[in-house]
Structures are given as structure tokens and as C-alpha cells.
């Protein structure tokens, strides 16, 4: 027989273990507490878990998120919206084994990105992308902010000039976004109508 929490102290029988328990109990409890401290130090805090899961979620849903931002800001009709607006997607965590299903959409808002992004490194990255995009003839960098509690993930998307964008304008973008996120689908392809016909992707 051995002590369950330590698996170190050996006993010849349960009877001997019970007799020794009063003296062994404080040692056993201390060892268990120390093991829990060590385990806890390696475990991620709830905020660290949200950050990690938010990155994975954003990566898995990049196509639908970029498309939704494009539709929400109506960039095909009003390309200048890219300069003063961003799409804020507020999320709620949900318990799911797959990282791309660990959030559900609570609400969406069109916001001023300058009021929501304060990290100088993120702002600098957006600025650099903006400059590169404009040099290459694009309209700028679309900013999508995913927020869960007090934690945000910023997703900058460089947008081509409107003449190169063949995506159809969709008024039902929010329903489409909800459908793909809620169902855990990561296979989104936007619909484009061209002179050659309709295609996906």
C-alpha cells in the first residue's frame, strides 16, 4: 500500500496506513499542496488561455472575418471608410475542444480604430501595412478587432483597389458570419460575380 497523494510512502497494509495517518497527514497534505502549486505555475491563466484561443480562432476564420469586415464597412461602395472605421466583433468564450469553436459572436460594431487600439506596436504594424498597400495600389488596411472581455486581437487586412475586388456586396454579411462561426466551419469562400460568371473564392 502507498499514500495516494505522494505514491512514495509504502505500507504493509491498510491497517498500518490508517495507524500512521495522523502523523503522515500533514506531510501528505503539504506535498499535495506543493504539487498543485507547481502544476498551477505551468497552467495558463484564464486570460492567457483567451489570448491563445483568440489567436487560433482568428487564424482559423481569417477568410470570413476579412470578408465580413469588407462588407460591414461597405468598402466596395465607399472605399474611404477604410481610413476612419474598423469592425469590432465582440465575442463570448465557449467551452469546446476545437480552438476554432471556442467563441461565439455577441455583437458587432463599426468603431473608430484609434479609440480601440492603443498598443504602439500594433499601430505601427497597421501603419506599415497601410503604406505598403497604398504603394501597391490598394485602398488601405482594413482593421478588424476581435474582443473577448478585456482582451483584443487585431486583424489588419490589406485591401486591393475596388477595381480588382470582384466580391459581391452582401447585406446579409452578419448572418453569414454568425453561421460560419457558430457552426465551426472554416471553409468560407466569398461569392464573386464577373463577366465570366459566378465563382467562389
Q: For residue 80, what are the contacts with CB-CB under 8 A and spacing of at least 6? A: none
Q: For residue 141, what are the contacts with CB-CB under 8 A and spacing of at least 6? A: 82, 126, 129, 130, 133, 156, 157, 158, 159
Q: In this predicted structure, what is the pLDDT of residue 200?
A: 47
Q: In this predicted structure, what is the pLDDT of residue 107?
A: 96
- Give the three cell numbers for residue 171: 447585406
What do you get for the CA distance between the two ends of the chain, in Å? 64
Q: In this predicted structure, what is the pLDDT of residue 170?
A: 85
Return the H-helix or E-strand segment holding 66.
Answer: helix 62-72
Round to whole Å and give the CA distance between 101 and 68. Answer: 18
Q: In this predicted structure, what is the pLDDT of residue 20?
A: 66
Q: In this predicted structure, what is the pLDDT of residue 196?
A: 57
- Give the three cell numbers for residue 184: 465551426
CB 92 within 8 A of CB 103: yes
Q: In this predicted structure, what is the pLDDT of residue 2?
A: 44
CB 10 within 8 A of CB 1: yes
pTM for the predicted model, two decimal places: 0.73
pLDDT in tens, the chain (201 residues): 444 444 455 556 677 667 666 766 766 665 676 666 655 544 555 677 888 999 999 999 999 999 999 999 999 889 999 999 999 999 999 888 888 899 999 999 999 998 989 889 999 999 999 999 999 899 999 999 999 988 899 999 999 887 787 788 888 999 999 999 999 999 998 876 555 554 444
Q: In this predicted structure, what is the pLDDT of residue 176?
A: 92
Q: Where are the domains of the chain?
A: 1-43, 46-200
- For residue 15, what are the CA distances in angstroms to 2, 9, 12, 141? 12, 14, 8, 73
- Give the three cell numbers for residue 109: 460594431
Q: In this predicted structure, what is the pLDDT of residue 158?
A: 92
Region for residue 110 given its phi and psi (left: phi exceeds 0; alpha: psi -120 to 50; beta: otherwise):
beta
CB 157 within 8 A of CB 163: no
Q: In degrees, to the nearest 5, what angle opens at C-alpha 53 toward C-alphas 49 and 55? A: 120
Amino acid at each position: 500500500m502507498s499514500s495516494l497523494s505522494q505514491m512514495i510512502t509504502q505500507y504493509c497494509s491498510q491497517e498500518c496506513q490508517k495507524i500512521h495517518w495522523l502523523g503522515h497527514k500533514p506531510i501528505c497534505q503539504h506535498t499535495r499542496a506543493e504539487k498543485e502549486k507547481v502544476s498551477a505555475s505551468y497552467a495558463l491563466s484564464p486570460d492567457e488561455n483567451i489570448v491563445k484561443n483568440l489567436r487560433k480562432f482568428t487564424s482559423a476564420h481569417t477568410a470570413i472575418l476579412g470578408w465580413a469586415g469588407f462588407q460591414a464597412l461597405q468598402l466596395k461602395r465607399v472605399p474611404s471608410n477604410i481610413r476612419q472605421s474598423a469592425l469590432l466583433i465582440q465575442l463570448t468564450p465557449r467551452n469546446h475542444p476545437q480552438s476554432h469553436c471556442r467563441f461565439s459572436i455577441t455583437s458587432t460594431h463599426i468603431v473608430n480604430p484609434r479609440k480601440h487600439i492603443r498598443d504602439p506596436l500594433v499601430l505601427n504594424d497597421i501603419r506599415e501595412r497601410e503604406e505598403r498597400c497604398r504603394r501597391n495600389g490598394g485602398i488601405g488596411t482594413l482593421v478588424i478587432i476581435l474582443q473577448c472581455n478585456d482582451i483584443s486581437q487585431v486583424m489588419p487586412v490589406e485591401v486591393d483597389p475596388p477595381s480588382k475586388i470582384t466580391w459581391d456586396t452582401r447585406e446579409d454579411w452578419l448572418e453569414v458570419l454568425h453561421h460560419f462561426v457558430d457552426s465551426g466551419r472554416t471553409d468560407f469562400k466569398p461569392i464573386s460575380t464577373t463577366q465570366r460568371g459566378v465563382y467562389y473564392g
